[in-house]
Amino acid sequence: MSSDQKALEQEALESLDSMSAVPKLQGPIGRLIGWVDTCFLTLAVLALIAIAATVLLQVSSRLFLPFSIAWTEELSRYLFIYMVALSVGVVMRQHRNISVELFHHMLGPRMKAAFQALICLLIGVFAFLVLPYAWQYAQNGTWQTSPTLRIPMLYIFFSTVVTFALLLVYSVLGCLEGILAMCRPSASREQES
C-alpha cells in the first residue's frame, strides 16, 4: 500500500472517528502492543470461526441426522463469551466501541487527548474495582460443570476476569497515550498541517 493510500485511509478514519487523532505509542513499545493486539484479535477471530463451524454443525445435524447434537449450542455460547472477552481491550484501544459523539469533532488535539485520558482513567478505575469480584465469581465455578460438555465452569466464568483485566491494561495504555499526546509541544502544529 502506498503512502498516499495510507494517508487517505487515515484521513477517512479520522473523519469517521475523531478520537483516532490521538496518536498511538510508537517505537518498540508500540510494535509490541501492536503484536499483542494482533494476537488477541487472532484469538477472537478463531473463536468466531469456531462459532460458525459449531452452528453449522448444529444446523446440519438437525437437517441431515435423525438426532440433534446437544453440545453445540453450549459450545457456541462459550465461544461467543470468550470472543468478546478477548477482543474488548483492542476494541477499546481502536475506539471501535459504541459511543455517543456529540462534541468530539469540536475538540482540539490536546482536548481530545485529555478526553481520552479521562475516559480511559474512568474505565480503568471501574475495571480495577470490579476485577477482584470477577475473580470471586470465577471461583464459584470451581465445583460446577457445564451441563452437556462437562467443562468446569471455572474456565467459563474466568472470562469475566479476562475481560476486566484486559480493560484495565488497555485503559492504562489509553490513558498513557492521552497524557503523552497532551504533553507533546507539536500536537497543535501537526494537526494544522
Number of neighbours of residue 169 by Cβ within 10 angstroms: 17
Instruction: Read off φ and ψ for residue 152, nearest 5 degrees.
Output: -60, 130
Average pLDDT rounded to a whole number, residues 111-117: 87
Q: What is the largest CA-CA distance in the chain?
A: 70
Which range in 29-33, 61-65, 101-105, 119-123 is most confidently predicted, on average pLDDT? 119-123
Query: Can you spell out the DSSP letters for 98-157?
Result: ----SSGGGS-HHHHHHHHHHHHHHHHHHHHHHHHHHHHHHHGGGG-B-TTT--BHHHHH
Q: How confident is the model at residue 161 (pLDDT cuts 50, 70, 90)?
A: very high
Region 41-67: what's the mean pLDDT?
93
Q: What is the pLDDT of residue 190?
A: 47
Residue-averaged pLDDT of the chain: 85
Pairwise pLDDT comparison (14 vs 163), residue with the higher score = 163
Nearest to 77 by CA among 50, 103, 106, 38: 50
Q: Residue 138: name the closest of 119, 123, 121, 155 by CA.
A: 155
Residue where the block lists cell 491494561: 169
* pLDDT band (50, 70, 90) for residue 187: very low
Q: How many Å apart are CA 72 and CA 146, to the nearest integer?
A: 12
Overall pTM > 0.95: no
Residue 167's nearest CA partner among 57, 56, 88, 52 is 88
pLDDT per residue as tens digits for the range 167-182: 999 999 999 988 988 8
Rounded CA-CA distance 180/106 in Å is: 21
21 pLDDT above the threshold of 70: no
Residue holding cell 480511559? 120
pLDDT tens column, 83-98: 999 999 999 888 777 7
For residue 59 the three cell numbers come to 444446523
Domain map (residue ranges) of the chain = 25-192
pLDDT surpasses 50 at 193: no
Q: Looking at the predicted structure, is the pLDDT value of residue 192 above 50?
A: no
Lowest mean pLDDT among 66-70, 113-117, 183-187: 183-187
Instruction: Identify the pLDDT of residue 47.
Output: 96
